[in-house]
Each structure stands twice: as C-alpha cells, then as structure tokens.
Amino acid sequence: MGAIYNLSGRFAIVTGGAGGLGLGIARALLDAGAGVELWDANAAGLAEAATELGASIRTVDITDRSAVDRATAAAFSAHGRIDILINNAGVLGEVKPIWETSPEDFQRVLQVNLFGAYLVTRAVVGRMRQQASRPSRVTPHPLRGHVVNIASIQGKEGMASAVAYSASKAGLIALTKSVAKETARDGIIVTAITPAAAETAMAREISAERRADILGRIPMARFVEVEEVARMVLWLSSDECSFSTGGIFDLSGGRATY
C-alpha cells in the first residue's frame, strides 16, 4: 500500500496486533512512517508479527488492569509520547441464540471487547492529555492524539446468535462517543469504525452457513479487505481527521443505511 499520509514522528499502540486486522492496521501505520508497538495476549503470535513487520511488541492481556497500567507507563517512557491508540483486540465468543449461551462466555466477551478497551483507553488517554500538543502540518488547531476503536456493524444493527459480541460493540460505540466529548478540548480525536465481516481468524470461527448469511447481507456481496480497514484507520489516525471526534465510521459495503 502506498503511503498517502505522513505519520513520521508519531508513535502508535495497536492492541490485538498479532491478529488479522490489527496486523494490517500496524503495517499501514508503519508504511506511513509511524513507530508502532503491538500489544497482544498471544505471545507467540506477537513474536511472529514482530519478525514480519519489524514493530516493537508487548505481551499484554488487556483485561488485566495492572498489566495495562504497567504497559502504558512503559510505552510512554520508551517512546516519550503516544500519538495514536488503536483499540482493536477483540473476541467473537459463542455463536448461539441467547438461551443456549453461557453467562461465562457473555462475561468474557464483554470483558475483552468493552472492559479491555476501557482499561487501555483510560490508561493511555489519561497520559495523552498531559503530553504537549504538537503543531500540525495540516490544521492550525493543535492535536495531542487520535484514538480509533474497532467496533462492528453488529454493534449498530445487532445480530442473531451474537448477543454478547453485538452488545460489547454497541458499548464500545457509546464509549467512543463519550470519551470524545471528554477530550474534545484537549486535541484528542476519538472515533470508531464499524466494519462488516473480513476474512480473518475471527471469520474462520463461523460455519459456512452463517458465513453465507453474513455475505448475503452485504450489498457489495463481498467481505471487506484488511487493507480497506487499514486505509480508513490511517485517515482516522492522521491530522487530516481533525474535526470528526465522536464519529462512528461505516465500512460495510452498503449493509448499514445510517
């Protein structure tokens, strides 16, 4: 992918960076000149990603408050500042109607997708607010950072057999809008994207029948490419995105009509 945005001198954290979308987003940020630290609970996957991308890595379970606080402190002290946070780590959970689901699975999905994103945002934005704003190459309004949350079309529309996942992503959308209001005067732009399905490990967890059902809901009749997700995240992480805080950006091949 050719670099359209110049993110040189910026430093980014990508959670879930050992996985499909996270890896693609990290690659795009690196191509644009940013420094990137990948956070993931999967240490083996992280090591592979580091070899592939040349990014720095940190093994972090985002549901562990003290691990998140320690990793945040270490990242700020290693790089001086964090300009970009991509809250991407997530799990799908059981694909079953609510009456067949286990409460433990519901809690686990909420724990990673919502509580984990909350912990990371809490820690990183708390420090981002205190770092100096930097003059921008494209806007006269100084910025301190960008936060991009990877939600899902299922958080906007709901989805049968994905109650926990959809609820967690709806929660992440509300978290995005709320934090955006809190940091609007600090020069921290907070947004979320709501992609339709991409062919990552997560999509491979579902049955052929459900896959066909999901595809049938997308007017463009195809899955989103990882690079298409990465390109939108790149814009949302750049100074070109300077007045859209709290925005929830659609990426669903026409599935969402709002």
Ligand X SMILES: NC(=O)c1ccc[n+]([C@@H]2O[C@H](COP(=O)([O-])OP(=O)(O)OC[C@H]3O[C@@H](n4cnc5c(N)ncnc54)[C@H](O)[C@@H]3O)[C@@H](O)[C@H]2O)c1
The catalytic residue positions are 165
How far apart are alpha carbons 140 and 142 in whole angstroms?
A: 6
Among 5, 7, 10, 22, binds ligand X (CB under 6 A): 22
SS3 160: coil
Q: Are the C-beta atoms of residues 149 and 104 closer than 8 Å to each other?
A: no
Judged by CB, which is closer to ligand X: 46, or 143? 46
Among 30, 159, 198, 230, binds ligand X (CB under 6 A): 198
Residue from 153, 150, 11 nearest 77 by CA: 11
Q: Are the C-beta atoms of residues 195 and 152 closer than 8 Å to each other?
A: yes
Residue 19 makes contact with ligand X by CB under 6 A: yes
Residue 116 makes contact with ligand X by CB under 6 A: yes
Judged by CB, which is closer to ligand X: 16, or 187? 16
Which are the contacts of 137, defined by CB distance < 8 A and separation ≥ 6? 6, 239
Residue 88 makes contact with ligand X by CB under 6 A: yes
Judged by CB, which is closer to ligand X: 63, or 238? 63
How far apart are alpha carbons 219 and 181 in whole angstroms?
A: 33
Region 207-246 residues binding ligand X, contact defined as CB under 6 A: none
Enter the DSSP assignment of 139: -
Judged by CB, which is closer to ligand X: 4, or 43? 43
Among 14, 29, 62, 110, binds ligand X (CB under 6 A): 62
Residue 162 makes contact with ligand X by CB under 6 A: no
Residue 50 makes contact with ligand X by CB under 6 A: no
Residue 176 makes contact with ligand X by CB under 6 A: no
Residue 36 makes contact with ligand X by CB under 6 A: no
Q: Tell me how far, at minimum, the Cβ of 150 lies from ligand X, in Å.
A: 4
Residue 175 makes contact with ligand X by CB under 6 A: no
Q: Are the C-beta atoms of residues 169 and 154 closer than 8 Å to each other?
A: yes
Among 13, 21, 71, 180, binds ligand X (CB under 6 A): 21
What tokens were used for 145? 């950072």
Q: Are the C-beta atoms of residues 45 and 19 closer than 8 Å to each other?
A: yes
Identify which range of 18-26, 28-36, 74-82, 237-245 contacts ligand X by CB under 6 A.
18-26
Q: Strands of 248-251's sheet, edge to edge?
A: 56-59, 35-40, 11-15, 84-87, 145-150, 188-195, 248-251
Identify which range of 35-43, 95-103, 124-132, 233-241 contacts ligand X by CB under 6 A.
35-43
Which are the contacts of 170, defined by CB distance < 8 A and separation ≥ 6? 151, 155, 156, 158
With left for phi above 0 and alpha for psi between -120 and 50, is residue 185 left, alpha or beta? alpha
Residues facing residue 37 across a β-bridge: 13, 56
Q: Tell me how far, at minimum, the Cβ of 200 lies from ligand X, in Å.
A: 3
- The site for ligand X (CB under 6 A) is made up of 15-16, 18-22, 40-42, 45, 60-63, 88-91, 112, 116, 150, 152, 195, 197-198, 200-203
